[in-house]
Amino acid sequence: MTKESPMTHPLLAVEDLHVAVEGKEILKGLALAVNAGEVHALMGPNGSGKSTLSFCLMGHPKYAVTAGRIRYRGEELDGLSPDARAKRGMFLAFQYPTAIPGVTIANFLRAALRGVRGGDVPVKEFRQTVKTHLKALGIPDAFVNRYVNDGFSGGEKKRLEILQMAVLNPALAVLDETDSGLDIDALKTVAAGINALRTPERGILLITHYQRLLNYIRPDRVHVMVDGRIARSGGAELALELEAKGYEGFKPAIEPASV
């Protein structure tokens, strides 16, 4: 593992990344760079490797890097556990969050914050932090007394993911299909929460199938992913082109893309 000055490198740099799952190659030379303060949208059809990338970024042991590298703040992540990556300021919001009956959101958030900080979190500080973010995100105070995702609607699950992001305050947030399963009202609420957490210090990678989320969150860059590679990269207008053409229109253009 090597470490270089974070001032001369993107917040996240993925270079010629090849990843296999149970011996099958899923990512086939993916390249991507995200700077602090930027929101990038990664779009692609089912099976293109979007979720594989998100799990690989966080160090899931099922996903084997066979070539290429991932650097975060100039540091190569090879060999770092998911816990170590979280402590360095990386965060993943899941497409399908798990229910944890019997564990309140408040206890869950405090345990997660302790884990990321590597030390205790004073009760008074924790309560004030959570209260501030609940208010900013428009979430009722009583929400944190519920069990984690137990009986939650799709919108409630995704709002909890955004609340976790707010409390943990990561430098890099990867949001895996945050819009999945949401009706239009829930989509607007979640998008407003993400927009509220855009800062000059934080990079956000939005993984999505559809352009509809980008009606409410304007990305700095859009990447179209097909068959384990970035087929094209561009500005926010690329999502509109994708909406008009569909993914079939991008398949012949697969080649290393500038980021």
Instruction: Give residue-wise pLDDT tens across range 217-231.
Output: 999 999 999 999 999
Please list, in sequence order, all residues whose beta carbon lies within 8 angstroms of the beta carbon of residue 106, skipping any fewer than 6 positions away.
130, 144, 145
The CATH number that applies at residue 144 is 3.40.50.300
Give which of 29, 37, 36, 30 is closest to 12, Cα–Cα. Answer: 36
* pLDDT reading at 126 higher than 80: yes
> Would you say residue 201 lies in a domain?
yes
Q: How far is CA 74 from the centre of its chain?
A: 19
> Would you say residue 97 lies in a domain?
yes
245 confidence band (pLDDT: 50, 70, 90): confident
pLDDT value at position 46?
87
pTM above 0.85, yes or no: yes
> Would you say residue 52 lies in a domain?
yes
Give which of 59, 63, 69, 86 is closest to 10, Cα–Cα. Answer: 69
Give which of 253, 252, 221 is closest to 237, Cα–Cα. Answer: 221
Q: Tokens in use for 143?
A: 């929400």
Q: What average pLDDT does this structure show over 2-30? A: 84
* pLDDT reading at 259 higher than 60: no
pLDDT value at position 246?
85
CA 257 – CA 259 distance, rounded (Å): 6
What are the pLDDT digits (tens) for 158-186? 999 999 999 999 999 999 998 888 889 88
> Would you say residue 259 lies in a domain?
no
Structurally, how many domains does the chain consist of?
1
* pLDDT reading at 235 higher than 80: yes
> Would you say residue 146 lies in a domain?
yes
> Would you say residue 258 lies in a domain?
no
pLDDT value at position 252?
52
Domain extent at residue 197: 6-253
Residue owning tokens 């004073």: 122
> Would you say residue 205 lies in a domain?
yes
pLDDT value at position 178?
87
> Would you say residue 156 lies in a domain?
yes
pLDDT value at position 5?
44
- Report the 10 Å Cβ neighbour count for 56: 23
Averaged pLDDT score across all residues of the chain: 91
249 confidence band (pLDDT: 50, 70, 90): confident
